Amino acid sequence: MLEMEEKILKEGKVLPGGILKVGNFLNQQIDTAFLKDIGSEIARLYEGCGVTKILTIESSGIAIAVAAGMEMGVPVVFAKKHKTSNVDGSVYSTTVHSFTHGTDYTVVVSSDYLCRGDRLLLVDDFLANGSALRGLIDLAGKAGAELCGAAVAIEKGFQSGGDELRREGVRIESLAVIESMSDTEIVFRPAGRDTVNRT
Amino acid sequence: MLEMEEKILKEGKVLPGGILKVGNFLNQQIDTAFLKDIGSEIARLYEGCGVTKILTIESSGIAIAVAAGMEMGVPVVFAKKHKTSNVDGSVYSTTVHSFTHGTDYTVVVSSDYLCRGDRLLLVDDFLANGSALRGLIDLAGKAGAELCGAAVAIEKGFQSGGDELRREGVRIESLAVIESMSDTEIVFRPAGRDTVNRT
């Protein structure tokens, strides 16, 4: 998605430690007109795949998931990062490692909202090591739901998470794949941006 | 908003401890068609008020804020519940007490995204004691931003947060105000649902 690359080049900021800050338009502050375009593009990519539900993880995945869900006409479920007293009944849970924060955290979703028969699209803002997506895949598996694939706004292609998942047969659509980045240059993966299972 | 009351009656669930569970359509699982209607209603309520930005708090406020922001054509900023390594530079912070969890937590927003000259609409899913809204008002004040008012999906009118804020002159628009609730009955505030500053 050319607009995503342009937006990253124009407004993104590379911080020490391999962090790409896109808080100006994608998380923290959300450019809602651009978000609509993101939702349309995800809907286009997964058109005809029979997606019945979108699954994401709080917090920064929610806006993108909602934009895609509105466009596709399907509900959005978000997994929570720890069990709160507002979740009753049984839950599915899994452990996700955050490389950004250097910690493990538990992710839960109520079994009321994830069911056998659901055809899931996973949505998140970033894909780097793939830990969050693997957590969502684990939750989907525990619920007996079917997986249509994943859509992420920005993939750090220089980390292996996305390509490993593709090799395992998971459809991953990233709106922009960064091959390398420094404080002076961001290079995007040139080909196959919108193709399936490039390996 | 009649549809909100109907949705609460049809799909809401009252849990012990004064908790209204609306995870089926508003948080955890989001009914995206209904969410669009929520966004339109908030846009209608604040039409002509010169809102330039929506401020919410993670996580369950984000979907509603995004729906309203898309409809109003303004960006959404969400305050985070603790400082993460993805927030650089200076931040505004405040303390919010969670009655649900019985704890205080710190809420931060980068000073890059909240500025003097912003005309803010605060958005959240629930209003009970008003602690979260007061936190957002505090952040707005620290940034020197102007406050147009607040829009919440569901107000627990039997708790005092909303009416106290109205008495202090803050415009609060709640799409549904619950006067009382038990596991057998939910009663809504009958009049002035869409009016300003009822006291």
Domain boundaries defined on chain B: 2-188
ipTM for the whole complex: 0.90
- Give the Cβ contact number of residue A168 at 10 Å: 11
Picking from A28, A66, A77, the nearest residue to B77 by CB comes out as A28
Best mean pLDDT range from A72-76, B104-108, B179-183 = A72-76
What is the pLDDT, as a whole number, of residue A90? 86
Protein fold of B2-188: Rossmann fold (3.40.50)
The second-level CATH assignment, the architecture, of A2-82+90-188 is 3-Layer(aba) Sandwich (3.40)
What is the pLDDT, as a whole number, of residue A105? 87
Q: Which positions in chain A touch B69 (Cβ < 8 Å)?
A: 30, 32
What is the pLDDT, as a whole number, of residue A101? 75
Label residue A102 by pLDDT band (50, 70, 90): confident
Instruction: Please tell me the distance in Å from A83's CA to the nearest CA on chain B.
Output: 11
Nearest residue on chain A to B79, alpha-carbon basis: A28
Is the per-residue pLDDT at A193 higher than 70? Answer: no
What is the pLDDT, as a whole number, of residue B72? 98
Label residue A199 by pLDDT band (50, 70, 90): very low
CA-to-CA separations, B80 to A70, B15, B56, B94, B135, in angstroms, rounded? 24, 27, 9, 11, 11
Q: Which positions in chain B touch A62 (Cβ < 8 Å)?
A: 59, 62-63, 66
CA-to-CA separations, B79 to A113, B57, B58, B124, in angstroms, rounded? 26, 5, 6, 11
Percent of chain A with pLDDT over 70: 92
Instruction: Please tell me the distance in Å from B53's CA to the nearest CA on chain A.
Output: 10
pLDDT tens-digit series, residues A48-89: 999 999 999 999 899 999 999 999 999 999 999 875 545 555
Q: Which positions in chain B touch A24 (Cβ < 8 Å)?
A: 112-113
CB contact under 8 A, A29 and B58: no
- Average pLDDT score over chain B: 91
What is the pLDDT, as a whole number, of residue A17? 83
Map chain B to HEC letters: CHHHHHHHHHHCEEECCCEEECCCCCCCEECHHHHHHHHHHHHHHCCCCCCCEEEEECCCCHHHHHHHHHHHCCCEEEEECCCCCCCCCCEEEEEEEECCCCEEEEEEEECCCCCCCCEEEEEEEEECCCHHHHHHHHHHHHHCCEEEEEEEEEEECCCCHHHHHHHCCCCEEEEEEEEEECCCCEEECCCCCCCCCCC
CB contact under 8 A, B33 and A73: yes
Whether B80 has its CB under 8 Å from any CB of chain A: the answer is yes
- Give the Cβ contact number of residue B97 at 10 Å: 14
Label residue A196 by pLDDT band (50, 70, 90): very low
Instruction: Please tell me the distance in Å from A73's CA to the nearest CA on chain B.
Output: 7
pLDDT tens-digit series, residues A143-180: 999 999 999 999 999 999 999 999 999 999 999 999 99
Q: Which positions in chain B touch A52 (Cβ < 8 Å)?
A: none
Picking from B23, B35, B77, the nearest residue to A70 by CB comes out as B35
pLDDT tens-digit series, residues B138-166: 999 999 999 999 999 999 999 999 999 99
CB contact under 8 A, B70 and A23: no
